[in-house]
Chain A
Amino acid sequence: MSINPMNSTPIRSETSGLKTDTLFLNMGPQHPSTHGVLRLGLTISGEVIVEAMPDIGYLHRGVEKLLETRTYAQGVVLADRLDYCSAMSNDLAFCLSVEKLLGAQVPKRAQVLRVIMAELNRIASHLIFFGTYGIDIGAFTPFLYAFREREMVLDLFEMCCGARLTYNYIRPGGVASDINADWIARCREFLDFFKPRLDEYDTLLSFNPIFLVRTQTVGIITPKTAVAWGLSGPNLRASGVNYDVRQAEPYCGYEQYDFTVALGKTGSCWDRYFCRVVEMRQSVRIVEQALSRLASGEIMAKLPKVLRLPAGEAYSHIEASRGDLGVYIVSDGGLAPYRLHFRAPCFINLAILQEILVGKKVADVIAVLGSLDIVLGEVDR
């Protein structure tokens, strides 16, 4: 690790012959806008970054190891706590993997419910991104507007599954509880309320000239770099690479829904930001379609009370809010997985920081870091 402050090399100013020294700036883990407990070791010359080193692990809870001693029903509870901003996606990825190994068929209604919940959670999660990114750039008000709308999504979740953050709603074989007509009416009310709000967000933040100059030319990731570093989700699509697991390898019947994948042009911070805003619009479309095709039926497949997976391995991945979330299960036929691994999109997206931060200003560090939209719960696991 070269984040030892003693190692920073002095640079020589060519023109003046003055000997200048670099400064080691320790950003985080208690910095207000490193989105959790990320530590960035920045070597700066004036306000320009010479070297950036993300240092992770402050939120490590050993979830993968813990899961080896939990049954599959209990595993969902822990999977919830990875990316706590979009717990539904984690549940979904985990359950899809379990069902794949089990060979279980999920009822139609449960699949639609899963889509509704995952997309609502995507909206909630992107709203957090939208709000906190506003704060990163210095606009505080969009944050509270975003949370006002997110509150409504959380209310919907609370009505349906009883929790507001860690839902434990999507279970192996289906979903935990059904929704009623009242819930559907509330959901439609939210969607109708939400669509004009998105236009307001665009006026307030997306096309604000200050916001544009702060983000449009900053943190550009070329498609080649993006693929080379294994980016996924909106971060990848902002660079113009059309890869969305929902369309590339549809799950839960995503192939039946009509939606477009938001693509950016240059791969700048603004593109990454705007991809998410457009994704919120698409999520609204998907939820509307899903609500209209909700047919009555079972919500839980007939599975044994005690799940015992056949020996073998399974990998399934979904398009979570922050990227391609994969779950790899190795089972030895016992009650708990023999080994379980999460392909956490945030962890992989975060690594690119050390390349794209070099040469940027200190103020841009926040803009770039915020635009990658990491959740440390998933990075450290």
Chain B
Amino acid sequence: MMPRSWPTEVWKDPWSLPRYRAGALWLGGILFGIVLISAVVGELCVWGEKLFAFLSHLGLSVVVVDWIWVLVKLGCVIGLIVANGLWAVWWERKISAHMQSRLGPMYAGGFHGWAQTILDTVKLLLKEDITPASADKVLHALAPVVAIAPCVIAFAPVLFGKELAAAKLDIGVLYIFAFAGISVIGIVMAGWASGNKYSLLGGLRAAAQIVSYELPRGFSVVPIIMFAGSLDLAVIDQAQAGYWFGFFPRWFIFYPVAGQLSFLFFLIASVAETNRTPFDIPEAESELVAGFHTEFSGMKWSLFFLTEYGYVMLASFLLAVFFFGGGAAPLPFLRFIPSWIWMMGKAMLMMFVFLWFRWTFPRLRVDQLMEFNWKFLLPWCFVNIAVAGLILAWGMR
């Protein structure tokens, strides 16, 4: 039994609360632990090379080794997407809870309910898979697969650290955008196949929105491609290595005007692409119940969820690579921490921005969303490309 305490009392001196102190201590400890362990482990690409060398020395044929190697990388990527789903849901719940003066999950697992999403997954796996009577059975079952497959495929050239990518592609950026655009077919399929009017509206909205926002998303990174001179993510990453005046990172976001504008446009377009607030009109829960995934349950539903969070992570990693120097340390003396931790940290920071947006802003209307895209975002993207051209022509010689 506890006495009632008002915000006026609780907020007066937060550090006197044991739970607040313990939380801060835990958080600091976890961060310190990550840094310590990663510094010991070192670059992951080195370990990858060692593993590959080990596989090659097993005496298997080259084809078999290649196949095993592909499977290992595939396992890593899929594992990352699934683990990201677990992590991101928990993180979103905690972040939103604390932004809203709540606690969020606290029970499962002990420390701040860390096991909550794992248990949720178990629940989702055991849940009844309901297909509505009026649904198109085949499409209904196919839709989540069509949605998540491009998400997994799009991760192939994504850079997770220095030279740490599943596939080395010269046209990595183009490849990612091309595949990321395919998922919308799954969403439209889901909307149509559910046999529900709300789902249909959600699917239609998603189609219009995602196809439209492909354009500013693509055009907003053109300045970055111009600066780096390549579509290869590794080259873009390397182009930002080093420091101005010995301490100021040469990241693209610090390039005058064009860098910041591209960052903003890409961020906005990415939020729209991933169907998150303030652009979450396809699932707008207050209007369309849950939009295209209203009639999905159990694992089918969670595949949509994984897709959404997968794309959030994709966008976060892209933001980190394009604008925040990828695996580069922000200050020279911090280079002892390996690049994959920097990459991960920057991506998580970007993911936090996504969550932050979601829990702050209201939602736009369909036509306003389109208007914003075609009448504001896209023209300014073109202006931005021109600005980047000017910078390249005169400034960066």
Tell me the minimal C-beta distance from B348 to chain A in angstroms.
21
Question: Which residues of chain A have C-beta atoms less than 8 A from B264's C-beta?
Answer: none
- Residue of A33, A193, A210, A365 near B361 (CB, 8 A) is A210
Note all chain B residues with C-beta closer than 8 A to A144. 100-102
- B333 at the binding interface (Cβ < 8 Å): no
Select one of A25, A135, A193 contacting B286, CB under 8 A.
Answer: A135
Rounded to whole angstroms, the CA-CA distance of A364 and B366 in the bound complex is 10
Is A361 a contact partner of B366 (Cβ separation < 8 A)?
Answer: yes
Complex CA gap A204/B4 in Å reads: 28
Complex: how many Å from CA A152 to CA B9? 12
Cβ–Cβ contact A32 & B285, under 8 A: yes
Within 8 Å CB of A245, what residues of B? none
Q: How far is the CA of A340 from the CA of B198 in the complex (A)?
A: 42
- A25-B197, A138-B280, A145-B100 are contacts. A366–B360 as well, Cβ < 8 Å? no
A213: which of B96, B201, B364 is its contact (CB, 8 Å)? B364
* Residue of A whose beta carbon sits closest to that of B281: A363
A361, B366: Cα distance in complex, Å? 9
- Cβ-defined contact, A137 with B7, below 8 A: no
Interface centre among B8, B102, B287, B289 (most CB of A within 10 A): B287
Instruction: Please give, as numbers and ranges, the residues of chain A lying within 8 Å of B362 by CB-CB distance.
Output: 134, 137-139, 205, 208, 210-211, 214
Write the nearest CB–CB distance from B97 to chain A, whole angstroms: 9
Q: Kindly supply a per-residue 1/0 record for chain B positions 351-381, scoring 1 wherever the CB is within 8 Å of any chain A CB and 0 otherwise.
A: 0000000011111111110000000000000
B180, CB-defined interface residue at 8 Å: no
How many Å lie between the Cα of A364 and that of B138 in the bound state? 34
Pick from A33, A47, A145, A213: contact of B366, CB below 8 A. A47
Report, as a range, how many residues of chain A touch the other chain.
Answer: 35 or more
- Which of the residues B101, B364, B367 comes within 8 Å of A145, measured between beta carbons? B101
CA distance A138 to B271 in the complex (A): 15
State A216–B286 Cα separation when bound (angstroms).
19
- Specify which chain B residues have a CB less than 8 angstroms from the CB of A211 in the assembled complex: 362
Chain A residues with CB under 8 A of B8: 189-190, 193
Q: Are A31 and B289 in contact (CB under 8 A)?
A: yes
Interface contact B365-A148, CB-CB below 8 Å: no
Contact flags B237-274 to A (C-beta < 8 A → 1, else 0): 00000000000000000000000000000000000000
> Once the chains bind, are B286 and A214 in contact (CB under 8 Å)?
no
**C-alpha gap A366/B284 in the complex (Å):** 11
Given contacts A33-B287, A211-B362, A366-B287, contact A155 B197 (CB under 8 A): no
Q: Is the CB of B364 within 8 A of A366?
A: no
Q: How far is the CA of A204 from the CA of B366 in the complex (A)?
A: 22
Q: Which of A31, A138, A148, A214 has the most CB of B within 10 A?
A: A138
The residues of B that contact A134 with a CB separation of less than 8 Å are 362
Binary per-residue interface labels of chain B (211-239) against chain A in the complex, 1 for a CB within 8 Å, 0 otherwise:
00000000000000000000000000000
Are B365 and A363 within 8 A (Cβ)?
yes
Q: Which of B1-46 contact A (CB under 8 A)?
A: 4, 6-8
CB of A363 within 8 A of CB of B366, answer: yes
**Pairwise interchain contact A152-B6, C-beta atoms closer than 8 A:** yes
**Bound CA span A5–B362, Å:** 32
> With contacts A144-B100, A152-B7 known, is A32 near B289, CB below 8 A?
yes
How many Å lie between the Cα of A213 and that of B7 in the bound state?
33
Contact A364/B360 with A32-B285, A33-B287 known, Cβ cut-off 8 Å: no
List residues of A (112-148) whose CB comes within 8 Å of B's CBs. Answer: 134-141, 144-145, 148
B287 adjacent to A362 (CB under 8 Å) = yes
Assembly CA distance A32 to B366 (angstroms): 19
Measured as residues with beta carbon below 8 angstroms from the partner, the interface class of chain B is 20 to 34
> Is A23 an interface residue when CB atoms closer than 8 A count as contact?
yes
A213 to B368, CA, bound (A): 8
By a CB distance below 8 angstroms, the chain B residues around A145 are 100-101
Chain B residues, CB < 8 A from A137: 286, 362-363
Residue B125, interface by CB 8 Å: no
Give the distance in Å from the alpha carbon of A135 to the alpha carbon of B210 in the complex: 23
Q: Of residues 151 to 195 in A, which have CB atoms within 8 Å of B's CB atoms?
A: 152, 155, 189-190, 193
Q: Mark B112-125, 1 if CB is under 8 A from A, else 0.
A: 00000000000000
- B261 CB to nearest A CB, Å: 18
Once the chains are docked, how many angstroms separate the CA of A182 from the CA of B96?
34
Do A141 and B365 touch across chains, with their CB atoms under 8 A apart?
no
Distance between A264 CB and nearest chain B CB, rounded to angstroms: 20
Most B C-beta atoms less than 10 A away, residue of A141, A152, A208: A141
- Whether A138 touches B286, Cβ cut-off 8 Å, given contacts A189-B8, A361-B365, A361-B366, is yes
Task: Kindly state whether residue B278 has any CB partner on chain A within 8 Å.
Answer: yes
Which B residues are in CB contact (< 8 Å) with A366?
286-287
Among B280, B281, B288, B365, which residue has the most Cβ atoms of chain A within 10 A? Answer: B365
Asked if A210 contacts B278 (CB within 8 A), the reply is: yes
- A32 vs B99: C-alpha distance when bound (angstroms): 23
Smallest CB separation, B367 vs chain A (Å): 7
Name the A residues within 8 Å of B361 (CB-CB).
Answer: 138-139, 208, 210
Q: What is the CA–CA distance of A365 and B287 in the complex, to the nearest angstrom?
A: 8
Q: Which residue of chain B lies nearest to A135 when distances are taken between CB atoms in the complex?
A: B286
Alpha-carbon separation in the docked complex, A144 to B201 (Å)? 29
Smallest Cβ distance from A370 to chain B, in angstroms? 8
Q: Is residue B275 within 8 Å, beta carbon to beta carbon, of the partner chain?
A: no
Q: B277-303: contact bitstring with A at CB < 8 Å (1 yes, 0 no)?
A: 110110011111100000000000000
Bound-complex Cα distance A210 to B364 (A): 6
B368 touches A214 (CB 8 A): yes
The A24-82 residues at the B interface (CB cut-off 8 A) are 25-26, 31-33, 47
Nearest CB of A to B282, in Å = 12
A139 pairs with B285, CB closer than 8 A: no
- Closest approach, in angstroms, between the C-beta of B396 and any C-beta of chain A? 34
Contact A155–B4 (Cβ < 8 Å): yes
Chain A residue contacts of B6, Cβ below 8 A: 152, 155, 189-190, 193
C-alpha gap A134/B362 in the complex (Å)? 7
User: What are 10 inter-chain pairs, A to B, with CB distance below 8 A?
Assistant: A32-B286, A138-B280, A139-B362, A141-B96, A190-B8, A193-B6, A208-B361, A361-B367, A362-B288, A364-B365
15 more A-B residue pairs beyond the given contacts A204-B360, A208-B361, with a C-beta to C-beta distance below 8 A: A31-B289, A47-B201, A135-B286, A136-B286, A138-B280, A145-B100, A152-B6, A155-B6, A189-B8, A205-B362, A210-B278, A213-B364, A214-B362, A363-B366, A365-B287
Residues of B at under 8 Å CB distance from A? 4, 6-8, 96, 99-102, 197-198, 201, 277-278, 280-281, 284-289, 359-368
Top 5 nearest A-B pairs by Cβ distance? A138-B363, A144-B100, A139-B362, A33-B286, A137-B362
